């Protein structure tokens, strides 16, 4: 998909509930993807972990390429990897529509963000809970998406860190309306409204969807709670 189209499609779906494919059934990925699509998910969030930048391993471009065969939903890839620039072309080729890199992994991110945009994907920048939000300032004009981590990256099912709310507000005041503000980690029915009030527009939800038997109901409940 081209960048403008992906962005328009996502902006039109706000508040965006993005299921995180970390708690899915890896033995039945195609089924889970079909169920999420039927349940109304507007995008899938793909957590790529390398066992180096974060203390866990998940899946990479080869698995994403196979997922791509099962849906036309946009893929929002969250690269929790060292030296993401080296692997960008693999994730682009695999069919990722948005690619987010960590500021902690790429201290000079402008050229990487621009490279992502030139390849017709949305460019995202992520910060960990301990990274001061002010560090994002020089890079905001180069991003289509800013992602505030509300847990330490690496694992699903962790507790929401409330400090993320101040960070979201800080970014919201400095970003354009055609940029997406995402929050990831511990987003559940009890925490999502506060993140929406602080300006988040894209909500990554792992456990709060996959721990429910009815994905459709879970997505609807989360979306309603995030609607201001
Ligand atoms: C954590 C990942 C998240 C994770 C969220 O490192 O980036 O996307 O899957 O899971 P929950 O929603 O369970 O906190
Ligand atoms: Zn994530």
pLDDT in tens, 101-131: 999 999 999 999 999 999 999 999 999 999 9
Position 94 scores a pLDDT of 98
pLDDT in tens, 70-88: 999 999 999 999 999 999 9
Position 163 scores a pLDDT of 98
Tell me the CA–centroid distance for residue 187 and ligand 1, in Å: 8
Atom of ligand 1 nearest to the CA of 206: 12
Name the catalytic one among 31, 32, 47, 83. Answer: 47
Active site residue 83: no
Position 210 scores a pLDDT of 98
Active site residue 32: no
Tell me the CA–centroid distance for residue 177 and ligand 2, in Å: 22
Position 73 scores a pLDDT of 98
Low-confidence residues of the chain: pLDDT under 50: none
Residue whose CA is closest, atom 4 of ligand 1?
A: 156
Position 182 scores a pLDDT of 99
Position 129 scores a pLDDT of 98
Position 3 scores a pLDDT of 97
Position 1 scores a pLDDT of 74
- CA atoms within 13 Å, Cβ hemisphere of 64: 30
């Amino acid at each position: 998909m081209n960048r403008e189209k992906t962005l328009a499609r996502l902006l039109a779906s706000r508040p965006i509930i993005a299921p995180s494919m970390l708690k899915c059934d890896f033995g039945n990925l195609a089924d889970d993807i079909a169920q999420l699509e039927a349940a109304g998910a507007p995008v899938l969030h793909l957590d790529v972990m390398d066992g180096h930048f974060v203390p866990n391993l998940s899946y990479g471009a080869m698995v994403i390429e196979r997922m791509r065969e099962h849906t036309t939903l946009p893929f929002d890839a969250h690269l929790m990897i060292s030296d993401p620039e080296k692997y960008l072309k693999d994730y682009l080729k695999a069919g990722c529509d948005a690619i987010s890199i960590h500021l902690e992994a790429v201290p000079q991110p402008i050229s990487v963000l621009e490279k992502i945009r030139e390849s017709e994907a949305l460019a995202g920048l992520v910060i960990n809970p301990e990274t001061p939000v002010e560090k994002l300032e020089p890079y905001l004009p180069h991003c289509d998406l800013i992602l505030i981590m509300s847990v330490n990256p690496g694992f699903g099912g962790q507790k929401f860190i409330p400090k993320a709310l101040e960070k979201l507000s800080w970014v919201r005041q400095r970003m354009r309306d055609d940029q997406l503000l995402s929050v990831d980690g511990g987003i559940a029915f009890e925490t999502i409204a506060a993140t929406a009030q602080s300006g988040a527009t894209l909500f990554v939800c792992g456990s709060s969807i996959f721990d429910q038997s009815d994905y459709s109901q879970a997505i609807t409940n989360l979306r309603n709670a995030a609607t201001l």
